[in-house]
Structure 1
Amino acid sequence: MFLVFDTETTGLPLWNEPSDDPRQPHVVDLACSLFDRSGVEIDSFDAIINPGIEIPADMAAIHGITTEIAQSEGIAPDMALTRFLSLIDEAEVVIGHNVSFYIRMMRIMAARVRGEKWDNPRPTFCTMHRSTSHCKIPSPRARHERDYKWPSLAETIRHFFGEEHANAHRARPDCDAAARIFFHFREKGLS
Protein backbone atom coordinates (compact mmCIF):
# COMPACT_ATOMS: atom_id res chain seq x y z
CA MET A 1 0.00 0.00 0.00
CA PHE A 2 1.06 3.58 -0.66
CA LEU A 3 0.73 6.52 1.72
CA VAL A 4 0.81 9.95 0.11
CA PHE A 5 0.92 12.94 2.44
CA ASP A 6 1.50 16.66 2.63
CA THR A 7 1.81 19.28 5.37
CA GLU A 8 1.57 23.04 5.71
CA THR A 9 3.61 24.62 8.48
CA THR A 10 4.55 27.71 10.45
CA GLY A 11 7.98 27.80 8.80
CA LEU A 12 10.94 25.78 7.58
CA PRO A 13 12.67 23.20 9.77
CA LEU A 14 15.96 24.06 11.38
CA TRP A 15 17.70 21.15 9.67
CA ASN A 16 20.83 21.28 11.83
CA GLU A 17 18.89 21.37 15.10
CA PRO A 18 17.21 18.47 16.90
CA SER A 19 13.54 17.79 16.31
CA ASP A 20 12.70 18.64 19.91
CA ASP A 21 14.22 22.13 19.65
CA PRO A 22 11.40 24.52 20.66
CA ARG A 23 12.29 26.80 17.73
CA GLN A 24 11.21 24.15 15.23
CA PRO A 25 8.10 24.99 13.18
CA HIS A 26 4.66 23.49 13.74
CA VAL A 27 2.37 21.58 11.37
CA VAL A 28 -0.92 23.44 10.82
CA ASP A 29 -2.43 21.37 7.98
CA LEU A 30 -2.04 17.65 7.29
CA ALA A 31 -3.49 15.45 4.56
CA CYS A 32 -2.83 11.74 4.03
CA SER A 33 -4.24 9.22 1.57
CA LEU A 34 -3.66 5.47 1.69
CA PHE A 35 -3.92 3.68 -1.66
CA ASP A 36 -3.87 0.02 -2.56
CA ARG A 37 -1.50 -1.20 -5.29
CA SER A 38 -4.10 -0.60 -8.01
CA GLY A 39 -4.42 3.08 -7.04
CA VAL A 40 -7.73 2.89 -5.21
CA GLU A 41 -7.86 5.20 -2.19
CA ILE A 42 -8.83 3.05 0.78
CA ASP A 43 -8.42 5.54 3.62
CA SER A 44 -7.69 9.22 4.03
CA PHE A 45 -7.35 11.90 6.65
CA ASP A 46 -6.99 15.64 6.54
CA ALA A 47 -7.25 18.30 9.18
CA ILE A 48 -6.28 21.77 10.17
CA ILE A 49 -4.18 21.55 13.32
CA ASN A 50 -4.16 24.03 16.18
CA PRO A 51 -0.48 24.34 17.11
CA GLY A 52 -1.21 26.45 20.19
CA ILE A 53 1.03 29.28 18.98
CA GLU A 54 0.65 32.37 16.82
CA ILE A 55 0.91 31.46 13.13
CA PRO A 56 3.27 33.92 11.42
CA ALA A 57 1.44 36.24 9.02
CA ASP A 58 3.88 35.50 6.18
CA MET A 59 3.12 31.77 6.45
CA ALA A 60 -0.63 32.34 6.76
CA ALA A 61 -0.40 34.39 3.55
CA ILE A 62 0.97 31.29 1.79
CA HIS A 63 -1.42 28.59 3.04
CA GLY A 64 -4.33 30.66 4.31
CA ILE A 65 -4.41 29.18 7.81
CA THR A 66 -4.41 32.00 10.33
CA THR A 67 -4.14 31.67 14.09
CA GLU A 68 -7.88 32.32 14.33
CA ILE A 69 -8.72 29.57 11.82
CA ALA A 70 -6.42 27.10 13.58
CA GLN A 71 -8.00 27.92 16.95
CA SER A 72 -11.59 27.61 15.70
CA GLU A 73 -11.25 24.71 13.24
CA GLY A 74 -8.07 22.93 14.25
CA ILE A 75 -7.65 19.65 16.07
CA ALA A 76 -4.98 18.86 18.65
CA PRO A 77 -1.58 17.90 17.21
CA ASP A 78 -1.63 14.57 19.07
CA MET A 79 -4.91 13.59 17.37
CA ALA A 80 -3.41 14.33 13.95
CA LEU A 81 -0.20 12.48 14.78
CA THR A 82 -2.11 9.42 16.00
CA ARG A 83 -4.10 9.24 12.77
CA PHE A 84 -0.98 9.74 10.63
CA LEU A 85 0.90 6.98 12.46
CA SER A 86 -2.02 4.58 12.04
CA LEU A 87 -1.95 5.15 8.28
CA ILE A 88 1.82 4.90 7.91
CA ASP A 89 1.72 1.57 9.76
CA GLU A 90 -0.30 0.17 6.85
CA ALA A 91 1.92 1.60 4.11
CA GLU A 92 4.72 -0.08 2.20
CA VAL A 93 5.96 3.18 0.62
CA VAL A 94 5.59 6.80 1.74
CA ILE A 95 5.18 9.41 -1.00
CA GLY A 96 5.26 13.19 -1.15
CA HIS A 97 6.45 16.12 -3.24
CA ASN A 98 9.59 16.85 -1.18
CA VAL A 99 8.83 13.92 1.09
CA SER A 100 11.93 14.45 3.27
CA PHE A 101 10.51 17.83 4.35
CA TYR A 102 7.18 16.27 5.38
CA ILE A 103 8.85 13.41 7.21
CA ARG A 104 11.00 15.88 9.12
CA MET A 105 7.89 17.85 10.08
CA MET A 106 6.21 14.70 11.42
CA ARG A 107 9.40 13.86 13.33
CA ILE A 108 9.24 17.33 14.89
CA MET A 109 5.57 16.84 15.72
CA ALA A 110 6.27 13.48 17.40
CA ALA A 111 9.09 14.99 19.46
CA ARG A 112 6.98 17.96 20.45
CA VAL A 113 3.68 16.30 21.36
CA ARG A 114 4.87 12.93 22.64
CA GLY A 115 8.49 13.44 23.54
CA GLU A 116 9.28 10.54 21.20
CA LYS A 117 11.94 10.09 18.60
CA TRP A 118 10.14 8.94 15.47
CA ASP A 119 11.78 7.88 12.25
CA ASN A 120 9.92 6.92 9.12
CA PRO A 121 10.02 3.12 8.96
CA ARG A 122 9.16 2.90 5.25
CA PRO A 123 10.90 3.46 1.91
CA THR A 124 10.04 6.78 0.29
CA PHE A 125 9.23 8.06 -3.18
CA CYS A 126 9.75 11.77 -3.74
CA THR A 127 7.72 13.07 -6.67
CA MET A 128 9.78 16.27 -6.65
CA HIS A 129 13.13 14.50 -7.03
CA ARG A 130 11.76 11.96 -9.52
CA SER A 131 10.22 14.73 -11.66
CA THR A 132 13.38 16.84 -11.92
CA SER A 133 14.86 15.05 -14.95
CA HIS A 134 11.47 14.99 -16.69
CA CYS A 135 10.54 18.65 -16.16
CA LYS A 136 14.07 19.85 -17.01
CA ILE A 137 13.61 23.34 -15.58
CA PRO A 138 16.98 25.12 -15.69
CA SER A 139 18.38 26.00 -12.30
CA PRO A 140 19.17 29.68 -11.82
CA ARG A 141 22.38 28.52 -10.11
CA ALA A 142 23.31 25.98 -12.79
CA ARG A 143 26.96 25.43 -13.51
CA HIS A 144 26.18 23.03 -16.34
CA GLU A 145 23.55 22.96 -19.05
CA ARG A 146 21.97 19.84 -17.51
CA ASP A 147 21.64 21.22 -13.98
CA TYR A 148 17.92 21.35 -13.28
CA LYS A 149 16.06 22.81 -10.35
CA TRP A 150 13.62 20.79 -8.30
CA PRO A 151 10.20 21.49 -9.81
CA SER A 152 7.42 22.85 -7.66
CA LEU A 153 4.23 20.86 -7.45
CA ALA A 154 2.55 23.39 -9.78
CA GLU A 155 5.40 23.07 -12.31
CA THR A 156 5.18 19.28 -12.19
CA ILE A 157 1.41 19.24 -12.69
CA ARG A 158 1.80 21.66 -15.60
CA HIS A 159 4.54 19.52 -17.17
CA PHE A 160 2.79 16.15 -16.95
CA PHE A 161 -0.85 17.16 -17.34
CA GLY A 162 -0.84 20.60 -18.98
CA GLU A 163 -2.97 22.00 -16.16
CA GLU A 164 -2.63 24.59 -13.45
CA HIS A 165 -2.52 23.32 -9.87
CA ALA A 166 -5.54 24.79 -8.09
CA ASN A 167 -5.46 25.54 -4.36
CA ALA A 168 -1.70 25.11 -4.03
CA HIS A 169 -0.25 25.28 -0.54
CA ARG A 170 -3.11 23.51 1.19
CA ALA A 171 -2.38 19.99 2.34
CA ARG A 172 -5.35 18.19 0.73
CA PRO A 173 -4.98 19.56 -2.84
CA ASP A 174 -1.18 19.16 -2.64
CA CYS A 175 -1.53 15.58 -1.36
CA ASP A 176 -3.95 14.77 -4.18
CA ALA A 177 -1.60 16.32 -6.75
CA ALA A 178 1.38 14.31 -5.45
CA ALA A 179 -0.72 11.13 -5.63
CA ARG A 180 -1.68 11.94 -9.21
CA ILE A 181 1.99 12.40 -10.15
CA PHE A 182 3.03 9.20 -8.38
CA PHE A 183 0.40 7.10 -10.15
CA HIS A 184 1.31 8.74 -13.47
CA PHE A 185 4.88 7.55 -12.89
CA ARG A 186 3.63 4.02 -12.12
CA GLU A 187 1.33 3.97 -15.15
CA LYS A 188 4.16 5.06 -17.45
CA GLY A 189 6.66 2.65 -15.86
CA LEU A 190 8.82 5.51 -14.57
CA SER A 191 8.75 4.67 -10.84
Structure 2
Amino acid sequence: MEHSPAASWADTLAVFDLETTGIDIDTCRIVTAHVGVIGPSGEVLEQRQWIVDPGVEIPTAATLIHGVTTERARLEGVPAVQGVAEIIEALTDAAARGLPIVAYNAAYDLSVLHREAERYGHEAFCGPAHVVDPLVIDKAADRFRRGKRTLTAACEHYGVELTAAHDAGADAIAAGRVAQAIARAFPELAAIAVAELHARQVDWCREQAESYQQWRRANGEPEFTTSGAWPLR
Protein backbone atom coordinates (compact mmCIF):
# COMPACT_ATOMS: atom_id res chain seq x y z
CA MET A 1 0.00 0.00 0.00
CA GLU A 2 1.55 3.26 -1.10
CA HIS A 3 0.93 6.39 0.90
CA SER A 4 1.86 9.89 -0.16
CA PRO A 5 3.44 12.10 2.53
CA ALA A 6 1.49 15.00 1.01
CA ALA A 7 -1.82 13.38 1.99
CA SER A 8 -3.30 13.70 5.46
CA TRP A 9 -0.56 12.24 7.60
CA ALA A 10 -3.01 10.59 9.99
CA ASP A 11 -4.79 8.49 7.35
CA THR A 12 -2.54 5.43 7.36
CA LEU A 13 0.24 5.06 9.90
CA ALA A 14 2.99 2.61 10.72
CA VAL A 15 3.15 2.02 14.47
CA PHE A 16 6.19 0.97 16.49
CA ASP A 17 6.96 0.16 20.10
CA LEU A 18 9.63 -1.61 22.12
CA GLU A 19 9.69 -3.09 25.60
CA THR A 20 13.18 -3.39 27.00
CA THR A 21 15.40 -4.35 29.92
CA GLY A 22 15.65 -0.82 31.30
CA ILE A 23 15.53 2.91 30.64
CA ASP A 24 19.13 3.76 29.69
CA ILE A 25 19.23 3.92 25.89
CA ASP A 26 22.94 3.09 25.84
CA THR A 27 22.72 -0.13 27.83
CA CYS A 28 19.18 -1.51 27.68
CA ARG A 29 18.22 -4.35 25.34
CA ILE A 30 15.09 -5.11 23.36
CA VAL A 31 12.76 -7.74 24.86
CA THR A 32 9.59 -7.34 22.79
CA ALA A 33 8.71 -5.27 19.74
CA HIS A 34 5.80 -4.49 17.45
CA VAL A 35 5.71 -2.98 13.97
CA GLY A 36 2.30 -2.61 12.36
CA VAL A 37 0.07 -0.47 10.19
CA ILE A 38 -3.29 1.07 11.09
CA GLY A 39 -5.86 2.56 8.74
CA PRO A 40 -7.86 5.81 8.88
CA SER A 41 -10.27 4.53 11.54
CA GLY A 42 -7.50 3.01 13.62
CA GLU A 43 -8.15 -0.47 12.25
CA VAL A 44 -5.20 -2.84 12.28
CA LEU A 45 -4.08 -3.57 8.72
CA GLU A 46 -0.74 -5.24 9.41
CA GLN A 47 1.11 -6.37 12.49
CA ARG A 48 4.30 -8.15 13.33
CA GLN A 49 5.52 -8.90 16.84
CA TRP A 50 8.70 -10.23 18.38
CA ILE A 51 9.87 -11.71 21.63
CA VAL A 52 13.64 -11.30 21.71
CA ASP A 53 16.22 -13.07 23.86
CA PRO A 54 18.29 -10.05 24.83
CA GLY A 55 21.31 -12.15 25.81
CA VAL A 56 21.34 -10.67 29.31
CA GLU A 57 19.27 -11.10 32.44
CA ILE A 58 16.02 -9.17 32.36
CA PRO A 59 15.79 -7.21 35.64
CA THR A 60 12.82 -7.98 37.85
CA ALA A 61 11.76 -4.34 37.68
CA ALA A 62 11.48 -4.57 33.90
CA THR A 63 9.63 -7.89 34.04
CA LEU A 64 7.09 -6.35 36.40
CA ILE A 65 6.34 -3.77 33.71
CA HIS A 66 6.12 -5.85 30.54
CA GLY A 67 5.70 -9.35 31.95
CA VAL A 68 8.56 -11.10 30.15
CA THR A 69 11.02 -13.01 32.31
CA THR A 70 14.54 -14.02 31.37
CA GLU A 71 13.40 -17.65 31.22
CA ARG A 72 10.53 -16.89 28.85
CA ALA A 73 12.73 -14.75 26.59
CA ARG A 74 15.29 -17.58 26.36
CA LEU A 75 12.60 -20.17 25.67
CA GLU A 76 10.39 -18.24 23.22
CA GLY A 77 12.54 -15.41 21.94
CA VAL A 78 14.56 -15.14 18.76
CA PRO A 79 18.27 -14.36 19.22
CA ALA A 80 18.80 -10.62 19.57
CA VAL A 81 21.02 -10.41 16.50
CA GLN A 82 18.16 -11.84 14.41
CA GLY A 83 15.35 -9.93 16.10
CA VAL A 84 17.05 -6.56 15.77
CA ALA A 85 17.68 -7.18 12.07
CA GLU A 86 14.05 -8.14 11.49
CA ILE A 87 12.69 -5.10 13.34
CA ILE A 88 14.93 -2.81 11.29
CA GLU A 89 13.79 -4.55 8.10
CA ALA A 90 10.10 -4.10 8.99
CA LEU A 91 10.54 -0.40 9.79
CA THR A 92 12.63 0.16 6.66
CA ASP A 93 9.85 -1.41 4.58
CA ALA A 94 7.22 0.84 6.16
CA ALA A 95 9.35 3.93 5.62
CA ALA A 96 10.02 2.93 2.00
CA ARG A 97 6.26 2.87 1.43
CA GLY A 98 6.06 6.47 2.61
CA LEU A 99 4.24 5.65 5.84
CA PRO A 100 4.81 7.98 8.77
CA ILE A 101 6.09 5.96 11.72
CA VAL A 102 4.35 6.58 15.02
CA ALA A 103 6.14 5.94 18.29
CA TYR A 104 5.20 7.38 21.66
CA ASN A 105 8.36 9.03 23.01
CA ALA A 106 10.01 8.13 19.72
CA ALA A 107 13.48 9.28 20.74
CA TYR A 108 13.64 6.42 23.24
CA ASP A 109 12.52 3.60 20.95
CA LEU A 110 14.46 4.74 17.89
CA SER A 111 17.61 5.41 19.92
CA VAL A 112 17.46 1.99 21.60
CA LEU A 113 17.07 0.36 18.19
CA HIS A 114 20.00 2.39 16.88
CA ARG A 115 22.24 1.25 19.75
CA GLU A 116 21.16 -2.35 19.24
CA ALA A 117 22.02 -2.12 15.54
CA GLU A 118 25.48 -0.89 16.45
CA ARG A 119 25.83 -3.63 19.07
CA TYR A 120 25.19 -6.40 16.53
CA GLY A 121 26.89 -4.85 13.52
CA HIS A 122 23.73 -4.14 11.55
CA GLU A 123 23.23 -1.18 9.28
CA ALA A 124 21.48 1.26 11.58
CA PHE A 125 17.93 2.39 11.03
CA CYS A 126 18.78 6.07 11.28
CA GLY A 127 15.22 7.21 11.43
CA PRO A 128 12.57 7.38 8.73
CA ALA A 129 11.85 10.55 6.82
CA HIS A 130 8.65 11.09 8.77
CA VAL A 131 8.19 10.32 12.47
CA VAL A 132 5.01 11.12 14.39
CA ASP A 133 5.48 11.30 18.16
CA PRO A 134 2.14 11.80 19.95
CA LEU A 135 3.94 12.72 23.18
CA VAL A 136 5.78 15.64 21.59
CA ILE A 137 2.78 16.76 19.54
CA ASP A 138 0.37 16.59 22.49
CA LYS A 139 2.68 18.69 24.66
CA ALA A 140 2.92 21.29 21.92
CA ALA A 141 -0.78 21.32 21.01
CA ASP A 142 -2.13 21.34 24.58
CA ARG A 143 0.77 22.85 26.43
CA PHE A 144 -0.93 23.88 29.66
CA ARG A 145 -3.03 20.77 30.31
CA ARG A 146 -2.35 19.50 33.81
CA GLY A 147 -1.59 15.91 34.64
CA LYS A 148 0.64 13.13 33.41
CA ARG A 149 1.64 12.71 29.77
CA THR A 150 2.11 8.96 29.79
CA LEU A 151 0.58 6.88 27.01
CA THR A 152 -2.08 5.67 29.45
CA ALA A 153 -2.96 9.24 30.38
CA ALA A 154 -3.04 10.32 26.73
CA CYS A 155 -5.35 7.43 25.89
CA GLU A 156 -7.70 8.45 28.69
CA HIS A 157 -7.66 12.07 27.58
CA TYR A 158 -8.29 11.35 23.90
CA GLY A 159 -10.72 8.48 24.42
CA VAL A 160 -8.50 5.72 23.06
CA GLU A 161 -8.82 2.23 24.51
CA LEU A 162 -5.65 0.71 25.96
CA THR A 163 -6.38 -2.71 27.37
CA ALA A 164 -2.85 -4.02 27.98
CA ALA A 165 -0.44 -1.21 28.78
CA HIS A 166 3.24 -2.11 28.31
CA ASP A 167 2.46 -4.79 25.78
CA ALA A 168 4.39 -3.65 22.71
CA GLY A 169 1.53 -4.38 20.35
CA ALA A 170 -1.14 -2.72 22.48
CA ASP A 171 1.06 0.32 23.09
CA ALA A 172 2.04 0.72 19.44
CA ILE A 173 -1.54 0.54 18.19
CA ALA A 174 -2.81 2.84 20.94
CA ALA A 175 -0.09 5.39 20.15
CA GLY A 176 -1.17 5.41 16.51
CA ARG A 177 -4.78 5.91 17.50
CA VAL A 178 -3.81 8.73 19.88
CA ALA A 179 -1.97 10.40 16.98
CA GLN A 180 -5.14 10.15 14.90
CA ALA A 181 -7.22 11.51 17.79
CA ILE A 182 -4.88 14.48 18.11
CA ALA A 183 -5.28 15.13 14.38
CA ARG A 184 -9.06 15.15 14.82
CA ALA A 185 -8.86 17.40 17.88
CA PHE A 186 -6.49 19.87 16.21
CA PRO A 187 -7.42 20.15 12.51
CA GLU A 188 -4.69 22.72 11.98
CA LEU A 189 -2.14 20.00 12.81
CA ALA A 190 -3.85 17.47 10.56
CA ALA A 191 -3.54 19.93 7.67
CA ILE A 192 0.25 20.19 8.00
CA ALA A 193 2.28 18.15 5.52
CA VAL A 194 3.99 15.30 7.35
CA ALA A 195 7.49 16.55 6.46
CA GLU A 196 6.67 19.90 8.06
CA LEU A 197 5.19 18.16 11.08
CA HIS A 198 8.40 16.17 11.46
CA ALA A 199 10.48 19.36 11.34
CA ARG A 200 8.25 21.06 13.90
CA GLN A 201 8.63 18.14 16.29
CA VAL A 202 12.40 18.56 16.19
CA ASP A 203 11.93 22.13 17.43
CA TRP A 204 9.14 21.30 19.86
CA CYS A 205 11.12 18.51 21.52
CA ARG A 206 14.14 20.76 21.96
CA GLU A 207 12.00 23.53 23.45
CA GLN A 208 10.20 21.10 25.76
CA ALA A 209 13.50 19.72 27.03
CA GLU A 210 14.87 23.20 27.62
CA SER A 211 11.77 24.16 29.58
CA TYR A 212 11.92 21.00 31.69
CA GLN A 213 15.61 21.49 32.36
CA GLN A 214 14.98 25.05 33.53
CA TRP A 215 12.19 23.86 35.82
CA ARG A 216 14.36 21.15 37.39
CA ARG A 217 17.22 23.58 37.92
CA ALA A 218 14.88 26.10 39.51
CA ASN A 219 13.57 23.42 41.87
CA GLY A 220 16.70 22.29 43.63
CA GLU A 221 18.72 20.55 40.91
CA PRO A 222 21.05 23.24 39.51
CA GLU A 223 23.19 20.71 37.61
CA PHE A 224 20.31 18.86 35.94
CA THR A 225 20.62 18.38 32.16
CA THR A 226 18.45 16.61 29.61
CA SER A 227 18.63 16.08 25.90
CA GLY A 228 16.07 17.52 23.51
CA ALA A 229 17.46 15.70 20.47
CA TRP A 230 14.72 14.09 18.37
CA PRO A 231 14.02 11.57 16.91
CA LEU A 232 17.44 10.12 17.77
CA ARG A 233 19.58 10.78 20.82
TM-score tier, shorter chain, comes to: 0.7 to 0.9
Q: Structure 1: which amino acid aligns with 2:170? A: P
Partners of 2:102 and 2:122 in 1: how far apart?
25
Give the deviation of 1:162 after TM superposition.
6.9
Unaligned runs of 5+ in 2: 4-12, 191-233
Query: For 1:49-128, what aligned pairs fall within 5 Å after superposition?
Result: 49-89=52-92, 90-91=94-95, 92=98, 93-114=100-121, 116-128=123-135
* TM score, norm. by length of structure 1: 0.78
Give the deviation of 1:135 after TM superposition.
7.7
- Identify the structure with the greater helix proportion: 2
- Cα shift readout 1:101-127 (whole Å, capped 9, x = no counterpart): 110011011111225444113221111
What SS does the aligned partner of 1:49 have? Answer: strand
What SS does the aligned partner of 1:168 have? Answer: coil
Verify: 1:13 aligned to 2:38, yes or no: no
Aligned to 2:173: 176
Q: Judging changes above 3 Å, is the alpha-carbon distance between structure 1 residues 87 and 186 closer, same or farther for their aligned structure 2 residues?
A: farther
Unaligned runs of 5+ in 1: 140-148
Q: Is the 8 A contact 2:35 2:91 kept in 1?
A: no
Identity, % of aligned positions: 25
Partners of 1:87 and 1:162 in 2: how far apart?
25
- What is the aligned residue count? 172
* TM score, norm. by length of structure 2: 0.65
Give the deviation of 1:161 after TM superposition.
0.4
Aligned to 2:151: 153
Partners of 1:38 and 1:122 in 2: how far apart?
23
What SS does the aligned partner of 2:154 have? Answer: helix
Give the deviation of 1:40 after TM superposition.
5.7
Q: Is the 8 A contact 1:157 1:177 kept in 2?
A: yes
